[in-house]
Every structure is written in C-alpha cells, then in structure tokens.
A and B are shown apart, each in its own frame.
Chain A
Amino acid sequence: MSNLLVFPILIPLCTAVLLIFLKEKVQLQRFISIVSALLNIAIAIVLVSRIRADGIQTLHMGGWAPPYGIVFVGDMFAALLVLTAAVTSFGILLYSFGGIETEREKAYYYVFFNFLFVGVYGSFLTGDIFNLFVFFEVLLISSYALISLGGTRLQLRESLKYLLINIVSSTLFVAAVAYLYAAAGTLNMAHLSQRVAEAGQGGVLGVIAVLFLIVFSIKAGLFLFFWLPESYSAPPSAVRALFGALLTKVGLYAVLRTFTLIFIQDPGVTHTWIAWMAAGAMILGGLGAVAYNDIPRILNYNVVISVGFVAFGLAAANGDSLNGAVFYLLHDMLSKGLLFILGGMVITIGGTDRLKDMGGLIKRYPLIGWMFFTLALAIVGIPPLSGFAGKVLLIRGGLDAGMLTLSLIGLGSSFLVLYSLIKIFRLAFWGDEPEGERSRVNLKGAAAVSAALLVLIILMGTQAEWVYSYVSQAGDVLAHPELYIEAVMKE
C-alpha cells in the first residue's frame, strides 16, 4: 500500500478546480500551473525511485482488497510514463504561454489542460479495466474542450468528427467491458489475467480480445487512424503538441497493458492482428507523411508511424522488443512534444503552414533551424540521440521473433520519417525568402523551452545505458505478467 500513487491524479485535479475560480487572472493561472507541474514531476521522480527500490506499488481504494475494490498499480512502466508525460507537459505548458492567445487562456485553457492530465495519469496508474474507461473519458472530454476551444470554422468541423469517432469507440469499450465481465466475472486487471488463463483464451474470450484491440487501436491511432491527421490539425499548435505527444500514447499504453497482461494465452490470433496493424500504420502513415505539404499534416502522420513502430514491439513480444517498445515510447513522448512545439514555431515565424510559401528561415532563425534538424535526426534514430537505443532494441527483438518483413518495414518507415522531416527543413529553412515584409516574432521563451527539451533528448541518448536500467525493469513486468499479478493479488 502506498498513498503516493494517488498524487499524480490529485495534484492536477485540485489545480484544475482551483483555476476555475481564477478565470480572469491569467498570470496567476500560469503561475499555479507551473507550480503544480513541477510538483507533479517531483512526485513522479519519487514514485520511480520508490518502485526502483521496493518493486511494484499498489493502493487499494477505500481499503477494499482486490479483486473487489478499485486498485491503483504503479509498476515501473506506468511510473516512467507518468514521469515522461509530466516532463513533456511542463514543456508544452511553458510553450503555451506564448503560443495560446489570451482569449483562449481566459476561456479555461489551463483548467482543461490540468483535467486532461487527471485522465492521462489516471489511465496509466489504474489497475481496473472499468476505471480505465472512466479515466479515458476524463481525458477525452478535456480533449474535446481543448480541440474546440476558440471555435474557428476548421476547429468546429474537425472536433465534430473527433467527438463522433471517440463516442462510438467509447461505446464499444463499454460493450467490451460488459462481455468481459460476463465471461470472466471480474474487472481487476490482474484478476482478469488469472481468470483468462484458467478459462483459456479460445472462443468468446478471443472475440472479446479482438474487440478490445479494435477499441484501443481507434484511440491510439493504430491503423484505424483515419480520423487523426485532420482532427489534430485543427487546434493551435500548443494543443496539437499535447495531443500528438500524449493522447495516442495513452491508447497505446492500454494496448500494451491489456495484451501483455490479460490476453496473453493466444498470441497466435491477437498478436498477428497487432503485427498487421502495425505494418499498416507504418506504411500508410509513412506515405501520408511524404504526400502532404503542410506542416501539421506531416507531423500528424509521423505520430501514426511511431504508434505503428511501438505496436510492432508488442507484436514481437520478447524481452528485447518489449524493452525497446518502452524505451521508444518514452523517447517518442518527449520528441513528439518537441517536434510539435518546433513545428508550431516554424508556422509562427513562416506566417503560414504551407511549405510552398516558406523559405530562407535559416538566415533569420538559425537556432530554431538547427534544433529542428537535430530533432529530426533523433526521431529517425541516428546513434548518439535518443531514438537509436529504442529502435535497435525493437529491430533486434523483431528479428529474434522471426519477423523479418516487419523489421524491414520498420526500417523503411524510418526513411520516410527522415524524408518527410528533412522536407520541412529543406523547404522552410533553405531556399529564398518569399516576397513581402515579415514581422520579426519574439520566440526567445519558446526557443529556451525547446532547447531544454532537446538537451533532455540528447541526454537520454548519451546516457542510454542508465535509462535502460530503468526501462528494463519496466520491460520485465511486461514480459513477466506474473510479477504484476503477484504484486496486486498478495495479502
């Protein structure tokens, strides 16, 4: 039992409630948000070190011992995701001070920002599948508000689609939970794992597993991603960074959790599906990233590629590939957050999001240009940077599992990522500047934030050995679900 687990949820919740009463005082709202974000990072660090020392932490809500009550479980995987999400969100928070107009800030932007993180951290830490649905809804409702905040034509149009697709998938989620409850008679994920193991995963449970896979894939943008590129283009770039860095990752976390803990008896069916969907996401996402000529769409398709890449690690399902998936997921949260921040800055300084109307920005903004270039190399996986270690582990795991084709698709998608990002670099930063006066924009604050995040990404790459020691503890739990079950079901 450790009360520590509830703090990552409690802090943003209390902050959000407090901020509702400070609608007009934007400066105060910013200050409180910063304090709460720093507090969250501190708590997450304590949580990680506690788990490092004492193993998996659990918290029984209201003193109801599992499998009856709702249980919160902090294993290394969840804790690392909470920590990375906290760091990334802090960066995005600082960026949104300059990137969001004051009208939006007054319209409860920081409130929804904090409520979003109640859902995100809650989804990571909960050990109960219906509770997972509830936290999903918390984060989705906040994201509905964030995506439509401002009410431009584009935002309204895209948020309608976003809402519809998420309501339908949430409905299917409840249906899947209903079937699972009928078949297994419990909602606690560790207990479910035991029950599914007892019953065997043929017939009905196989169908339920596929239903869960469909639901989570829609939310993660894994293959069924057709709603994603348009919807994520609509809001301002700070919100886009939040969505691209975190929302799909929560869906991905749910896929990883359910298919390494609950539905593991019959990998022949489900993991083959995951493999196909990963391949589809990587290929189609790559083609989309290459095809478009405006920055938001290129970046959004890059999100799809990385989701496919992590899912490939799950499909291979051996020690190396799961470690790689965790490592790559952490890298991806940080680097996608930074990528969208830098993309937003490029749009701001270029004055447009169409690459054809840009050019020559390197002369005026050399720092931003080279940061973008370094980040592109990190995302592609050039050795000293953070993408490399995860990619090597994933590819090695994939080859060990005999998935030659998928590994090749993974490597090939890296080339498409490289091409699409270098295309932004080439068209926006090189070439001649278009005619007409451009006002110089002050981006010192945003540039400082990006530089800090970039340093983190470089450190994560050069200190990969040290990061790996934490990641491998997370991967262990994924590879050996009995550790998780033991920790939850003891007493």
Chain B
Amino acid sequence: MELIMAVAVGILFMIGVYLILSKSLLRIILGTSLLTHGVHLLLLTMAGLKTGAAPVLSDKAEAYVDPLPQALILTSIVISFGVSAFFLVLAYRAHQTLGTDDMDSIKGDKP
C-alpha cells in the first residue's frame, strides 16, 4: 500500500511540476493544486497507513490510527482551497487587465 501511495505522490508531483513550468496561467494554477494534493497524500503516507481501528474510543480495538495527520491534511486542504480560489480570481482579473494569460508575454518592463 505504501508503495502505491508513493507512486501516486510521485505522479502527482511530476504532473504538478510539469504544469507549473508551462506558459498558460490556468495550467500553472492546476499545477499548484495537484502539487498540494501530492503533499497531502505524502502527509497521509508518512504518518503510517492502516495501523489500527478508527480513532474513536471503544473497548475492542487494540491499536488506533493516528488522527493527527488527518487533522493536518484537513487544515491544509482548506488553506489550499482558499489560495487556489484567490489565484483563479487573480488570474481572471489579470487576464482582463493585461489581455493575456501567457506568462511569457506578461513579463518585461512595461508598467
């Protein structure tokens, strides 16, 4: 299971980095989103997968899953959701004002 997760994280990172390196703004935003999700899976995997029962108190289970990583991932998902939303709005506004979504033609000294 860890192996599959590792491969999934790797693929997400790969696609994310590839998209971030492209010219179109929309692709870059999608890239950052995928990168963040890769990190969330990484966080889940790093804390250990499937080590016991659900972290709810009961008499039967001997071992419990560590609930902390889930809390961390939840926080991180919320943050990345907010940032992505802001980034999309900013990109839309930039497209309106600058007239392009191509990072190459945005750069330069033009005020």
Contact = CB atoms under 8 A, between A and B. Distances in A.
A151 to B, nearest CB: 6
B58 interface: no
Interface string B68-85: 110010011001001100
B79 A178 contact: no
Contacts of B61: none
Interface in A144-174: 144-145, 148, 151, 153-154, 156-157, 159-160, 163-164, 167-168, 170-171, 174
A179 interface: yes
Contacts of A156: 90, 93-94, 97-98
A191 to B, nearest CB: 13
A181 interface: yes
Interchain residue pairs A-B with the least CB separation, the first 3: A182-B46, A178-B43, A156-B94
B83 A181 contact: no
Most buried by A among B25, B43, B47, B107: B43
Given A141-B86, A159-B90, A163-B90, A153 B98 contact: yes
A455 interface: no
A159 B83 CA distance: 13
Interface residues of A, number: 29
Nearest to A179: B46
B36 to A, nearest CB: 5
B18 to A, nearest CB: 13
A156 B98 CA distance: 8
A171 B98 CA distance: 28
B91 interface: yes
16 contacts: A141-B79, A141-B86, A144-B90, A148-B90, A153-B110, A156-B90, A159-B90, A160-B25, A160-B103, A163-B87, A164-B28, A171-B39, A177-B72, A178-B43, A181-B68, A181-B69
Given A159-B90, A181-B69, A164 B32 contact: yes
B15 interface: no
Contacts of B25: 160
A151 B43 contact: no
Interface of B: 20, 25, 28, 32, 35-36, 39-40, 42-43, 46-48, 68-69, 72, 75-76, 79, 82-83, 86-87, 90-91, 93-94, 97-98, 103, 106-107, 110-111
Given A170-B79, A175-B43, 13 more contacts: A134-B75, A137-B83, A144-B86, A148-B90, A157-B106, A164-B20, A164-B28, A167-B36, A167-B87, A168-B35, A174-B43, A174-B76, A178-B47
Nearest to A187: B68
A167 B86 CA distance: 12
Contacts of B83: 137, 141, 144, 163, 167, 170
A109 to B, nearest CB: 17
Contact of B39 (A153, A159, A174): A174
B13 to A, nearest CB: 9
A137 B86 CA distance: 13
Nearest to A174: B39
A153 B97 contact: yes
A163 B103 CA distance: 13
The residue among A156, A168, A175, A178 with the most chain B CB atoms within 10 A of its own CB is: A178
A130 interface: yes
B98 A181 contact: no
B102 to A, nearest CB: 12
B90 A160 contact: yes
A160 B83 CA distance: 12
B34 to A, nearest CB: 10
